Amino acid sequence: MGRAIGVLAMEHVAVAVVEGARIAGPVRFFPDKGDAADTLRDVPGEEIAESIRRQAQLAAEGAEVTALGVGVPGVILEGVVAESPNLQQLKGLDLQRILKAAFPAAAIRILNDADTVAAGIAATRGELDRLVRVWTLGTGVGFGRYPWQPGMWEGGHCVVTLDPKERFCGCGGVGHLEGIMGHRAMRLRFLDLEPEEVFENARQGDERCRDFARLWHRALAAATATSIHFDGPGKFYISGPNARFVDGALLNMFLHEMVKMSPLQGSFLEVLHTSDEVAIIGAAVSAARGA
Ligand SMILES: [Zn+2]
């Protein structure tokens, strides 16, 4: 029987066989966790592609690979990594072509990592028949959508303020969501406080931090409202390490202030802690369903 394989290339290349909506067998990592140089940061792009190929081959254990999905941080255009701010050595890499040459019988799918998270949530929660959107809050801000549709979908960089002083986004753009919500951006804004301390101080009533916490939630509500006005209402998940800062009640209140037309009502926001496994499952499911 053929194998569907999911890959997430972020800190590591993480690879596993996926059956249905679950991981079957071990998750393989490159570089190995615990190695001296244990992240991909300094690994050349060609070598990352080769490790994906090799790990996928090992995971298949001699069986034919029928579907191979890969989640990569960045802008993916027809299987090519067009831009990857966090793994810059991947820029220009034609992963689709490289992996198709290695696995000619497989359906190959290269996706933005947030899209694999959205697909993984849809698969593991039985929502493959629905529109699932996810915000991933980490160093930057990702936006994932299932089902996948062609487009740029750089939701983390949508403009949520016209204040020209808002220029902390990693991409350099002014007024972006990531420039308010991204971990890196928060550290640039509060040079004297870590993001954890900002939210803790906000709870204690510190005025500057409380104002920022409200801005942070309003920014996410604004970006969600924009998605609703373009793409309709529905379910939004919030995941990633900084989802822990989300106050769901505050976020929903701001969202309701921003979305008033009746056909656009009925969206729902949920904080969901996802693991790498969810993205691996989403990558494999996307490749298998695209076949
Ligand atoms: Zn930006």
Which of the four pLDDT bands, split at 50, 70 and 90, describes residue 151?
confident
**pLDDT-wise least confident of 7-11, 14-18, 65-69, 186-190:** 7-11
pLDDT at 37 over 70: no
Average pLDDT over residues 207-225: 98
pLDDT at 146 over 80: yes
Evaluate if pTM is beyond 0.75: yes
Ligand 1 geometric centre to CA of 176 (Å)? 5
Could you give the CA distance from residue 11 to residue 31 in angstroms, rounded to a whole number?
A: 9
Long-range contacts of 124-133 (CB under 8 A, 24+ apart): 124/21, 124/22, 124/278, 124/281, 126/21, 127/235, 128/285, 128/289, 130/234, 130/235, 131/231, 131/232, 131/234, 131/235, 132/234, 132/235, 132/237, 133/227, 133/231, 133/234, 133/235, 133/236, 133/237
Ligand 1 geometric centre to CA of 147 (Å)? 24
The answer to whether 149 and 108 have CB atoms below 8 angstroms apart is no
Nearest alpha-carbon partner for 203 in 245, 154, 243, 253 = 245
Ligand 1 geometric centre to CA of 163 (Å)? 14
Listed in sequence order, the DSSP H helices in 183-242 are 183-189, 195-204, 207-231
Ligand 1 geometric centre to CA of 124 (Å)? 30
Nearest alpha-carbon partner for 282 in 148, 104, 90 = 148
Ligand 1 geometric centre to CA of 179 (Å)? 7
Could you give the CA distance from residue 101 to residue 65 in angstroms, rounded to a whole number?
A: 13
For the record, the structure tokens of 78 come out as: 């027809």
Ligand 1 geometric centre to CA of 158 (Å)? 7
By CB atoms closer than 10 A (0-12, 13-18, 19+), residue 121 is buried
Could you give the CA distance from residue 213 to residue 230 in angstroms, rounded to a whole number?
A: 26
Cβ-Cβ contacts under 8 Å for 251 (sequence gap 6 or more): 217, 220, 221, 269
- Residue found by looking up tokens 């640039």 in the block: 188
Average pLDDT over residues 12-37: 88
Ramachandran angles phi, psi of 88, nearest 5°: -65, -25
- Residues of the chain above pLDDT 90, percent: 86
Ligand 1 geometric centre to CA of 140 (Å)? 9
Ligand 1 geometric centre to CA of 40 (Å)? 23
Ligand 1 geometric centre to CA of 48 (Å)? 26
pLDDT at 84 over 70: yes
Could you give the CA distance from residue 141 to residue 94 in angstroms, rounded to a whole number?
A: 24
pLDDT at 281 over 80: yes
Listed in sequence order, the DSSP H helices in the chain are 45-60, 95-102, 113-124, 177-181, 183-189, 195-204, 207-231, 248-258, 276-290
Could you give the CA distance from residue 56 to residue 99 in angstroms, rounded to a whole number?
A: 10
Which of the four pLDDT bands, split at 50, 70 and 90, describes residue 150?
confident
Ligand 1 geometric centre to CA of 164 (Å)? 13
